[in-house]
Structure 1
Amino acid sequence: MTAARRRQTIVRKPKQGRSKATVAAILEAAARILAKDGWDGFNTNVIAKRAGVSIGSLYEYFPNKQALVDAIADDHLAKGEALMSAASTSFVPTSEPDDIVKVLVNGIVELHKDDPSLHRVLSSEVPISPMIRKRVEILRSTAIESLAGALKHHIGQNRIAAQLLFDVADASVHRWFIEDDGTLATPERLAEQLQCMMRFYLDGLRERR
């Protein structure tokens, strides 16, 4: 990316309460339009109108559509990071496999069931910046390492098991609620079924130790 291009995507940080409210209104409007109309219908003039601000005010904080999308993705990632952080702190050496699996699955279900229409567009339509992609990978690797640390007290090859458990849970929940319509089962029912499957997997590994 050229220096000129980098300057174009720099987002001005709001400092005053009124500025923060303006940015919040813009991002809320942008997220709703993105979820409803997709990337093709993601228009800054429409966003400004819905947010109740001038197009000049929008561009004051977000110089282009990419900056808006990255800000929306940033907010979504922040929720995921908070959920994973809370899950990690609950893992202690005495955590039982059932509890570990429950925390993992419930965290992933909670993240994906929140605004699935927006999640669908973010994951399949919009161009995500390298910075956001890196954060996604860091979130995944951090969660896997935390899970592996909790499992090492119960099974061998805990790193492989942790990655398998995380990726299966993430892919299954994403498919269920983001790519499909999610009507076959409630989030709670899906979580219950995934936990059951993973408990059998871990029980099998423990028996072979």
Structure 2
Amino acid sequence: MTAAGRRQAIVRKPKQGRSKATVAAIQEAAAQILAREGWDGFNTNIVAKRAGVSIGSLYEYFPNKQALVDAIADDHLSKGEALMSAASSSFAQASKPDDVVRVLVDGIVTLHKDDPQLHRVLSSEVPISPNIRERVDKLRDAAIEGIAGSLKRHVGQNRVAAQLLFDVADAAVHRWFIEDDGTFAEPHRLADQLQHMMCAYIDGIEKRS
């Protein structure tokens, strides 16, 4: 699909309450089916039946399954952006590295524990539009900049430390929650272990600075 095609993926946006409810029902049904069946088992006819709407009604808003996936990814990413917005002020107010680590780990765990099966499919199976990928990159960059700013008073190579902390936390949480067949690890156990590991790393580079 071309970039222009993606920009027109949703034919018309719902304005009335009934139309908004229809779109919400379609997206909810689509997310459930995508999480359960994966990309190969995902199609608009099944989504329409699950949502209780005609295929014609579905196509008024979503001309194909790629448009549906982009809408699901958009909702999922919006949650991450909201978490990042809340974390940004917490990073700025953090007085010590332990607080920075806690905010980072709690945010990443919160994002990944929300419907891990859907997260797994979105991250590994479906084709995501360039716009969504660009937003993911911006989200990562914003998180790293926030962490780096908070660590500036404590470590020398704060940008490097921030990127390492974010990427390690993201990879570890993704692996535990998403890649292991969607098996749901206990969030507090993972968060606790990650925080101990990362605080030890910060403590080590603080002493060498």
- Residue in structure 2 matched with residue 152 of structure 1 by the alignment: 152
Preserved contact between residue 116 and residue 184 of structure 2 (Cα < 8 Å): no
Identity %: 79
1:152 partner amino acid: K
Q: TM-score, normalised by structure 1?
A: 0.95
Preserved contact between residue 10 and residue 67 of structure 1 (Cα < 8 Å): yes
Q: How big is the shift at 1:10?
A: 3.9
Task: Detail structure 1 runs of 4+ shifted over 6 Å in the superposition.
Answer: none
Q: 1:87 to 1:94 in 2, by over 3 A?
A: closer
Aligned residue pairs total: 209
- Residue in structure 2 matched with residue 32 of structure 1 by the alignment: 32
Preserved contact between residue 30 and residue 47 of structure 2 (Cα < 8 Å): yes
d(CA) in 2 for partners of 1:7, 1:135: 15
RMSD: 1.7
2:204 partner amino acid: G
d(CA) in 1 for partners of 2:74, 2:141: 17
Q: How big is the shift at 1:44?
A: 0.5
Preserved contact between residue 120 and residue 182 of structure 2 (Cα < 8 Å): no
d(CA) in 2 for partners of 1:68, 1:184: 26
Preserved contact between residue 101 and residue 199 of structure 2 (Cα < 8 Å): yes
Q: How big is the shift at 1:95?
A: 1.9
Q: 1:182 to 1:189 in 2, by over 3 A?
A: farther
Q: 1:150 to 1:7 in 2, by over 3 A?
A: closer
d(CA) in 2 for partners of 1:112, 1:92: 23
Preserved contact between residue 70 and residue 129 of structure 2 (Cα < 8 Å): yes
Preserved contact between residue 93 and residue 153 of structure 1 (Cα < 8 Å): no
The answer to which of 60-69 and 93-102 deviates more is: 93-102
Preserved contact between residue 35 and residue 117 of structure 1 (Cα < 8 Å): yes
Gapped runs of 5+ residues in structure 1?
none
d(CA) in 2 for partners of 1:76, 1:181: 19
Q: TM-score, normalised by structure 2?
A: 0.95
